[in-house]
Amino acid sequence: MNLLVASFKNFISANHLFNKKDHLLIAVSGGADSVVLCELCSQSGYTFSIAHCNFQLRNEESNEDENFVKAIAEKYQAPFFVQKFDTQKYAADHKLSIQVTARELRYGWFEEILNLTVNDVLNSPLGGRGGYVLTAHHADDNLETITMNFFKGSGINGLKGILPKNNNIVRPLLFATKASILSFATENNLPYREDSSNSSDKYTRNYFRNQLLPAVEKVFPQVKENLLHNAERFKEINTIYQSAIEKITSKLVFTKGAERHIPVLKLQFTEAMPTVLYEIIKDYGFTSHQTGEVIKLLSSESGKYVQSSTHRILRNRKWLIVAALNDTSVTHYLIEQNEKEVNFEAGKIIVQQTGIPAVINTNALTAQLDSKNIQFPLLLRKWKTGDYFYPLGMTKKKKISRFLIDLKLSLLQKQEVWVVESNKKIIWVVGYRIDDRFKISGQVQDILTLCLVPAGQTS
C-alpha cells in the first residue's frame, strides 16, 4: 500500500472524520490537491460525489477547469455538480474581496447540495445524516493560515490552525505536505490543472506562500515542522483556554432581553481583564484594537459608548451594556440602593428612602413602597408578555397585558409601559399602579419612594 494512502486512512480514523456509510461530496477545483483527494478516496474504498465551482474569474481557463473536473467525475463514475457564479458582481454588490466572496459562494452552495433530498438527485438523502463536504486543504495551507493569523493578531484561537473537521466540512489532507501530494500525483499519473492566479502575489495568502515562508525557511529549515507541532499544542491550549473563559464570563455577563450587561467594578477586578473583555466583545463585531477603547469606558461617565459595525457598548452608570445597533434604546436599567435618580427613555425616576410621611402620596406618577420587602438592585425595564403583578387593592395576581387592556390603552401606549421589579417581582407598573404586596401598612418603618418625571417635564 502506498505510504500516502496508508497515512490518509490513519488520519481519517484517528480524527473520526467519516466512514464508508457516509456520503462524501468532494470539492474539486481541478488542481493537484483536489485531484489527489479523489484518487485517495477511491483507493481507500470510499464512494463520493464531486462539486465544482466556476467563479468565471479567469475567462476561458475557468471553463477549461470545469470541463476537466467533469471528466474526473466521469472517470470515477461520481455524481457531478457544477455551478457558475458571477463572482465579480457579488463582490461589488456586497463590498467584499474576491477571496471572501468566493468562500461565501462556495460554502453556501455546498450546503445547498448537502441538503438535497432523494427526489432531487440521488437515491438517498445527502444532508444531515452522514453528509460531508471534503476539501483538499493540506499541511502547507495550514502553515500559511497559522502564519497569517499570527500577523493578524488573532490570538490563541487563530494559532491552532485549520481544524480537520468543522461541522460538515472535513479536511482529510491536513496531514500531507504539498510535496507529498505532487509526488503522489506523479506516481499515479494523475493530470491536474495549474491555476495561474496561484503565482500572483496580489493575494495575501500567495505572498505568504511564495515569498515569506520560503524566506523564513532559509534561516530556520525546520520552520514548517515546528509550526505544525505548535499548532497541535495550541489546539490543546485553546481547549483549556476556552473552558476557563467560559467559566469566567458565565459569572460576569448577564443577559437582559437582547442585551448583555457587564458590571464595571467586577470587570475591573477580573484577572487578565483585557483578554477576558476581548473574548466577550469579539462576538459582537469588535476588534482586538477596540478592546482598549472599551477599557476606557470603565473610567468614563454614563452615556459614553464604543461602536462596532453591528453593536454598541454603552457605559450606563455601573454597567457596560452591549446592544445591537438596530436597537437604539436601552431596555433595562439597574437601580442601585444609593442612587438618587435614573434617566431613561421615558424620562427619569427620582429615588428616595425615608421614614413614614405624614401623608401617603396617591399620585399615579409616584410609588411609595415598604422598604423591608424590597431587595436591591431594582430592575427598570419594558413590560413583556407573561408579566404579572398584584394590583394595589387586589389579592389575586393579574397579567399586565390584561391590566393595560382594562385601562383602555392604545397599542402604542402599551408599547411604552415600563415596570420596576425587585428580586424578579414587579413592584410598580410605572405611572399606573404599585403591587399590593409592597404597599405601606401599619407595620412599616421605612419607605421607598419612586417618582416618575416624564420626558419633557421638570421635577
pLDDT in tens, 388-397: 999 999 999 9
pTM assigned to the model = 0.61
User: How does residue 355 score in pLDDT terms, banded at 50, 70 and 90?
Assistant: confident
Residue 174, pLDDT above cutoff 90: yes
Q: How many residues does the structure list for the chain?
A: 459
pLDDT at 459: 57
Residue 138, pLDDT above cutoff 90: yes
More confident residue, 91 or 154: 91
Model confidence pLDDT, tens digit, residues 180-232: 999 999 999 999 998 766 655 666 888 888 888 899 999 999 998 998 888 88
More confident residue, 174 or 411: 174
Q: Kindly report whether the peptide bond that precedes residue 191 is cis, defined as omega within 30 degrees of 0.
A: no
> Where do you find CATH 3.40.50.620 in the chain?
3-220
**Mean per-residue pLDDT, 100-128:** 70
> Whose CA is closest to 87, among 54, 51, 64, 135?
54
d(CA 335, CA 26): 57
Burial class (CB in 10 A: 0-12, 13-18, 19+), 57: middle
> Where do you find CATH 3.50.40.10 in the chain?
332-454
Say whether domain 332-454 belongs to CATH 3.40.30.10. no
**Mean per-residue pLDDT, 354-365:** 76
Residue type at 279 in one-letter notation? E
> What per-residue string of b and e applies to 105-115 under the rule 16 or more CB within 10 Å gives b?
bbeebbeebbe
Q: What is the mean pLDDT of the chain?
A: 89
pLDDT at 136: 97
User: How does residue 411 score in pLDDT terms, banded at 50, 70 and 90?
Assistant: confident
d(CA 413, CA 429): 13
Model confidence pLDDT, tens digit, residues 322-351: 988 765 556 788 898 888 889 888 899 999
Residue 154, pLDDT above cutoff 80: no
Residue 118, pLDDT above cutoff 70: no
Model confidence pLDDT, tens digit, residues 261-297: 999 999 999 999 999 999 999 989 998 889 999 999 9
pLDDT at 119: 37
**Mean per-residue pLDDT, 165-185:** 95
pLDDT at 268: 97
Report how far apart, in Å, the C-alpha atoms of 439 and of each of 369, 370, 378, 452 are.
Answer: 5, 6, 16, 17
pLDDT at 304: 85
d(CA 99, CA 31): 17
pLDDT at 38: 98
In the chain, the percentage of residues whose pLDDT exceeds 90 is: 60
Helix axes 223-250, 273-281, angle to 10 degrees: 90
pLDDT at 122: 47
Task: Write the DSSP string, 6-39.
Answer: HHHHHHHHHTT---TTSEEEEE--SSHHHHHHHH
Residue 156, pLDDT above cutoff 70: yes
Model confidence pLDDT, tens digit, residues 11-30: 999 999 999 988 899 999 99
Which CATH code for domain 3-220?
3.40.50.620
**Mean per-residue pLDDT, 149-170:** 88
Q: Which residue has the cell 461589488?
A: 92
pLDDT at 289: 86
